[in-house]
Structures are given as C-alpha cells and as structure tokens.
Chain A
Amino acid sequence: QSALAQPASVSGSPGQSITISCTGTSSDVGTYDLVSWYQQHPGKAPKLMIFENSKRPSGISNRFSGSKSGSTASLTISGLRAEDEADYYCISYAGSTTFFVLGSGTKVTV
C-alpha cells in the first residue's frame, strides 16, 4: 500500500496563499473523487478540512479549498494565518480491497 506523495514542507508568509499537492495513481486519486484533507496540530487529533476533493464541511473557513486533476489532488490555503501552521494529510479511497491510501503529510509553516 504505497503512500500518496506530499511535499514534506511548505511555507508562506501571513496573507499569502500556499498549495499542497497529493499525488497518487490511477488506482486511487485518479479513479475516485473521494480525496479528503486533514489538519493536525501538535498533540491533537486530525480534523477534516475538505472531502470529495473540494467540498468543505460546515464550519471550515472558505480560505481552504481543494481540487483534483488526474491523479493529483491539491489543497490551497489562502490568506495564510498563524493558526494555519500545522501538519496536513490527504487520504484517498482506493477501492474495496485497499480501501484507504494516506498521504505522507506536509508541515505548513507560517
């Protein structure tokens, strides 16, 4: 079960926009529109930020947006704030045999 590839780290200044990529294969990201993104602060459980590639759960700021092209999904954070500094993970559904494939995680520094 290969991990989805994410950059180890991304940084930006307050107010800027950053984008985190999540690259999979035709067996997961490329086939299913079921990529979700999670934010994790140190010592805390992850929190769902984006589901089904680009949809935001209730209560999640519209500064967070998601997209997908081919086998690569992306998370964009606009108007970067200090509280956005955290680790971010993507997860993709990969069919009933493999079920979930997880990203390697990206540390965002503001």
Chain B
Amino acid sequence: QVQLQQSGPGLVIPSETLSLTCSVSGYPISDGYFWGWIRQPPGKGLEWIGNHHYIGDTYYNPSLKSRVTISVDTSKNQFSLKLTSVTAADSAVYYCASTDTAMVAVVFWGPGTLVTISS
C-alpha cells in the first residue's frame, strides 16, 4: 500500500518560491505511477498542478507551467514541487498524489499541506 507524507513550510513570502516534498513509503517511485500535485484554495475546487511519469516525462497545467517544477529523487523515494514567484492566489491546500498509469486516476493522496502566501 502506497503511503504519502508531505513536508514543507506553511507560510511563504510573496514573490518567493514555494517548496514542498512528498515522501513515499510502501512502493519504489521508480517502479510505476505518475507522481504529482493537486491544490485546493480555501473554500474552492481542486486544481491539477502537474504529474511526473516514473519513466521520466513531466506534464504541467498550462496555466502554471512557467512557474512549476516537479522533480523526483529516487534515492530518497520522494518527489518535490517548486512554484516560483508566488502570490496570494497561490494560497491553498497542496496535495501530493499518485496517479495510476493505466486507469489514469488518482489512487493515493497525501494528507494535504495548507500553504499561505503572506508577508
């Protein structure tokens, strides 16, 4: 059973970079799945950020593509999100997620991290 645990700061200064890490247990990230991130502003709906295929390709939401990087560290069995030049509109609960490559559905979710953008 895949388990996801998130880490990273809950407060980020406007114009700086948001960085979150998702540690995976129960499954080697180099063996399968898309590893990615979805966010949810307070009181609003879900927004897909991006996915990294275990073989290597990465896919990003076109509206965020210029500011987002998803990277994988197989030695630590974890993956990370970096979002640059953040504004208050980037305040949200950020979920890391595992997407099955065949059914293309999000099968495992992290617990979520509330990130607030404020000075």
Which residues in A have some Cβ–Cβ distance to B below 8 Å?
A: 1, 3, 32, 34, 36, 38, 45-48, 51-52, 55, 57, 89, 91, 93, 96-105
B45 touches A89 (CB 8 A): yes
Identify which of residues 81-119 in chain B touch chain A, using a CB-to-CB cut-off of 8 Å. 95, 100, 103-107, 109-112
| B25 part of interface (Cβ distance < 8 Å) | no
Q: Tell me the complex Cα distance, A19–B110, Å.
A: 28
User: Do residues B103 and A52 form an inter-chain contact, with CB atoms below 8 A?
Assistant: yes
Q: Chain A contacts of B46 at CB under 8 A?
A: 38, 46, 89, 91, 102, 105
Given contacts A1-B63, A51-B105, A91-B105, 4 further A-B contacts (CB under 8 A): A45-B110, A48-B105, A98-B62, A105-B46
Inter-chain contact B47/A102, CB cutoff 8 Å: yes
Assuming the contacts A3-B45, A100-B51, asked whether A36 and B105 have C-beta atoms less than 8 A apart, the reply is yes
With CB as the reference atom, state the residue of chain B lying closest to A99.
B59
